[in-house]
A and B are shown apart, each in its own frame.
Chain A
Amino acid sequence: MEIELRLYGGLNRYAPNGQTCSACLVAPSATISVAVTRLGIPGTVHITVLRNGRREDMSTRLEPGDILTLLPQIDGG
């Protein structure tokens, strides 16, 4: 099934095509964890993962058309 990947703040280097936003094919009912793991982001890199703008458990199953957003470590304001 197809989902949309959005990788910001330099994380696009881990995108399959290097793009910030791209369509991505994952197995039906794949979890957030599966989709993120296959990007190969080192475990030491802090990221925030959002599914359709919400922080959810990594075991949550994705649905077709979901937007998976990855943000780098951010703070301040």
Chain B
Amino acid sequence: MYRPGRGKQVLFASIMNDKNRAAGRSGVGAVMGSKHLKAVVIKGKGRIPMADPDRFKQVNKQVLDTFREGVEKTPLGLTVNGTAGVVMATQNFGVLPTKNWQQGTFDGWEKIDGQELTRRYLKKNSACYGCPIGCGRLTRVTDAGFEGEGEGPEYETLYAMGSNCMIDNLGAITKANYICNEMGMDTITMGATIACAMELVDRGYLSEDRVGRSLQWGDAGALVELTRMTAAREGFGDELALGSFRLAEKYGHPELAPVSKKQEFPGYEPRGAQAMGLAYATSPIGGSHMRGDPAYFELFSVPQPMDPHIWEGKAKVTAAFQNLSAIIDAAGLCIFFAVRNLAAKDLGVAPTGILEYLNAATGSDYTLEELMQAGERIINAERIFLTHAGFSRKDDTLPDRLTKVPMPDGPAKGLVCHLEEMLDEYYEVRGWNRDGIPETKTLERLDLA
């Protein structure tokens, strides 16, 4: 669907769906905008045939019965406070990115947490088609200057526009989130870019004259105004529309951009959650938590907990989660439901539940090994694409801030992210050489040679 941010080719424009849902990252909306593609409409009355509908219903009933049984014992955090509830976890683990990734805790966190969002602004939960979780938040803000109504914000927005900018004004964050949805922009990159600009100003690399207004840490008004200006590419918004890397590079300090492959990170600090750093660096689309999300085992104890401060042994589990995410994406499923309910309860996270659905729907007889290999094939196919585009180990990076500067505060104080050690282990697990290029024998095994 067309949104103004895309028409202006903001480099982090999203493709919006169902009003408030987004293919949010990597600027896919800017690609649509550059081709003058306004919308894709799918219309039809036909039914999708199913090989064994009775078996499919049986599998579905079993999955939902188990899900509901679990929810009766422990209310699902996602239903109660949405993804916004994650602020509480990242703060207490000391991995809530704060002040453009200079700190891991934020004094104002309770003002931007999911409980506060629920208490102050929630109108009702919303759910995607057929979902029993309903993590979506339909909210309304009546705070003077930030009035509005819409969906969200999600956790990632609260980190990027909140703690990362030292802003504890939930009304302002929610308003900036509405603007991003209405204009079709990625909230992670928007918030992270404003935080980066705040640090450029703080360090004297960028003048407020150039910005056209004051831009200090914690300035809620600046967040909302600059978000609007970015969508319109008006004034300094035209520079923010480039994202943090190109902005910081323009002012001579690309090291201040919190990116991998020039894409901004989601809200988990790799110094205190080591595998997140590996996932960011090896994600084929740059900094992302949706191509394998180690927060599940490092913070949420799903399917089992692993110490977030330890880097040893993380490569194998991170690779397994990346393979699982590739299968979840290919199946058109949501990671929130699938990781907890459709995967094995060990750190191999074999997609056991997805296999049941797949065979019932298609009438095929896939084995678990074949399905797991399909996930591995997707990761390798993407890696081959990147290799042909010139990417290698030199691009699987994190900023020095995360790998060389010890965390100054909180439970992860004194730690750095051990990326290089994890990369050695990771490439070995993947069957890639030390430069991160897939070995011929790996591609032959996966029938990709």
Residues in B62-97 with C-beta less than 8 Å from chain A? 73-78, 80-83, 85-86, 88-89, 92-94
The answer to whether A9 touches B77 (Cβ under 8 A) is yes
Cβ–Cβ < 8 Å partners of B410 in chain A = 53
The answer to whether B266 touches A9 (Cβ under 8 A) is no
Task: Please name the residue on chain B nearest to A20 by beta carbon.
Answer: B110
A74 to B82, alpha carbons, bound, how many Å? Answer: 9
Interface centre among A9, A10, A50, A76 (most CB of B within 10 A): A76
A26 to B299, alpha carbons, bound, how many Å? Answer: 27
Could you list 5 examples of A-B contacts with CB < 8 Å?
A: A48-B301, A73-B76, A74-B299, A75-B300, A76-B86
A77's partner among B83, B115, B301 (CB-CB below 8 A) is: B83
A53's partner among B86, B92, B302 (CB-CB below 8 A) is: B92
Cβ–Cβ < 8 Å partners of B307 in chain A = 54-55
Binding site for A on B (CB under 8 A): 73-78, 80-83, 85-86, 88-89, 92-94, 115, 135, 154-156, 266-268, 289, 293, 295-296, 299-302, 305, 307-309, 336, 339-340, 410-412
A24 to B93, alpha carbons, bound, how many Å? Answer: 21
A50's partner among B85, B93, B296, B340 (CB-CB below 8 A) is: B93
A9 to B266, alpha carbons, bound, how many Å? Answer: 23
Tell me, yes or no, whether A13 is within 8 Å of chain B by CB: no
CB distance from A1 to the nearest CB of B (A): 21
Task: Please name the residue on chain B nearest to A76 by beta carbon.
Answer: B83
For the A-B complex with A50-B93, A71-B89 known, give 16 more contacts whose Cβ atoms are closer than 8 Å.
Answer: A45-B74, A48-B300, A53-B92, A53-B410, A54-B411, A72-B74, A74-B77, A74-B86, A74-B89, A75-B336, A75-B339, A76-B77, A76-B78, A76-B82, A76-B86, A77-B266
Q: A53-B92, A74-B89, A75-B296 are in contact. Are A45 and B73 (CB under 8 A)?
A: yes
- Chain A, residues 34-75, CB within 8 Å of chain B (1/0): the string is 000000000011101010111100000000000001011111
The answer to whether B88 touches A77 (Cβ under 8 A) is no
A64 to B435, alpha carbons, bound, how many Å? Answer: 49
Cβ–Cβ < 8 Å partners of A10 in chain B = 80
The answer to whether A50 touches B92 (Cβ under 8 A) is yes
CB distance from B396 to the nearest CB of A (A): 22
Interface centre among A6, A54, A72, A74 (most CB of B within 10 A): A74
Cβ–Cβ < 8 Å partners of A53 in chain B = 92-94, 410-412
Q: A48-B301, A50-B411, A54-B309 are in contact. Are A73 and B92 (CB under 8 A)?
A: no
Cβ–Cβ < 8 Å partners of B300 in chain A = 48, 73-75
CB distance from A43 to the nearest CB of B (A): 9
Task: Please name the residue on chain A nearest to B272 by beta carbon.
Answer: A53
Top 9 A-B residue pairs of the complex, sorted by shortest distance between their CB atoms: A53-B411, A76-B83, A44-B73, A74-B77, A46-B74, A75-B300, A74-B89, A73-B77, A77-B86
Task: Please name the residue on chain A nearest to B85 by beta carbon.
Answer: A74
Cβ–Cβ < 8 Å partners of B339 in chain A = 75
- Chain A, residues 1-28, CB within 8 Å of chain B (1/0): the string is 0000010111000000000000000000
CB distance from A40 to the nearest CB of B (A): 16
Cβ–Cβ < 8 Å partners of B411 in chain A = 50, 52-54
A75's partner among B77, B94, B305 (CB-CB below 8 A) is: B77
Task: Please name the residue on chain B nearest to A50 by beta carbon.
Answer: B92
A38 to B290, alpha carbons, bound, how many Å? Answer: 39
Cβ–Cβ < 8 Å partners of B76 in chain A = 73
The answer to whether A71 touches B88 (Cβ under 8 A) is yes
CB distance from B271 to the nearest CB of A (A): 13
Task: Please name the residue on chain A nearest to B86 by beta carbon.
Answer: A77
Cβ–Cβ < 8 Å partners of B296 in chain A = 75
Task: Please name the residue on chain B nearest to A54 by beta carbon.
Answer: B411
Cβ–Cβ < 8 Å partners of A75 in chain B = 77-78, 86, 295-296, 300, 302, 336, 339-340
Cβ–Cβ < 8 Å partners of B75 in chain A = 72-73
A46 to B70, alpha carbons, bound, how many Å? Answer: 10
A35 to B145, alpha carbons, bound, how many Å? Answer: 46
The answer to whether B301 touches A9 (Cβ under 8 A) is no
CB distance from B131 to the nearest CB of A (A): 13
Task: Please name the residue on chain B nearest to A51 by beta carbon.
Answer: B411
Cβ–Cβ < 8 Å partners of B74 in chain A = 44-46, 72-73
CB distance from A11 to the nearest CB of B (A): 11
Q: A52-B411, A53-B94, A69-B92 are in contact. Are A77 and B305 (CB under 8 A)?
A: no
The answer to whether B94 touches A72 (Cβ under 8 A) is no
The answer to whether A76 touches B267 (Cβ under 8 A) is no
A48 to B89, alpha carbons, bound, how many Å? Answer: 9
CB distance from B93 to the nearest CB of A (A): 6
Task: Please name the residue on chain A nearest to B115 by beta carbon.
Answer: A9
The answer to whether A72 touches B93 (Cβ under 8 A) is no
CB distance from A68 to the nearest CB of B (A): 11
Cβ–Cβ < 8 Å partners of A54 in chain B = 307, 309, 411
